[in-house]
Amino acid sequence: PIHTAAVQQQTHVAIDSSTEDDRQFWDSMTTEEAFQLGKKLVNLTALTLVQPRHERSWCLRSMICIVEGHAAGRREACETKGQQHMSKGSLETVELTTTST
């Protein structure tokens, strides 16, 4: 599907609590859904977690699941899709920060 192809092209994802809509989106995501999202993010180079100032563990597990899924997705792409030319890693930056409010 087209949305899968679009997700696969993403290089930067922000798990962001800055707006109510973003926060609800990430709050509603299960760890399995985060892992499956990560599996599709085979070209991910940067991941940012923008946490609420007073909730330092907000969505930390989702971030970890995305990273683990990303690794699994790249491994799967190399093994099953014949993409041996794919480099061993693409994720270069993981940033944790807090909202300004």
Model confidence over 17-44: pLDDT tens digits? Answer: 999 999 999 999 999 999 999 999 999 9
Strand partners, 46: 12, 93
Number of folded domains in the chain?
1
Question: What is the pTM (predicted TM-score) of this model?
Answer: 0.87
For residues 50 and 42, give the distance between their C-alpha atoms in angstroms, rounded to a whole number. 22
Kindly compute the dihedral angle of the four CA atoms of residues 65, 66, 68, 73, in this order, to the nearest 10 degrees. Answer: 140
Structure confidence at residue 89 (pLDDT): 65
Structure confidence at residue 88 (pLDDT): 63
Q: Is the pLDDT of residue 101 over 70?
A: no
pLDDT tens figures, 40-93? 999 999 999 999 999 989 999 999 999 999 999 998 888 876 666 666 668 999
Structure confidence at residue 44 (pLDDT): 94
- Which range marks the domain in which residue 82 is found? 2-98
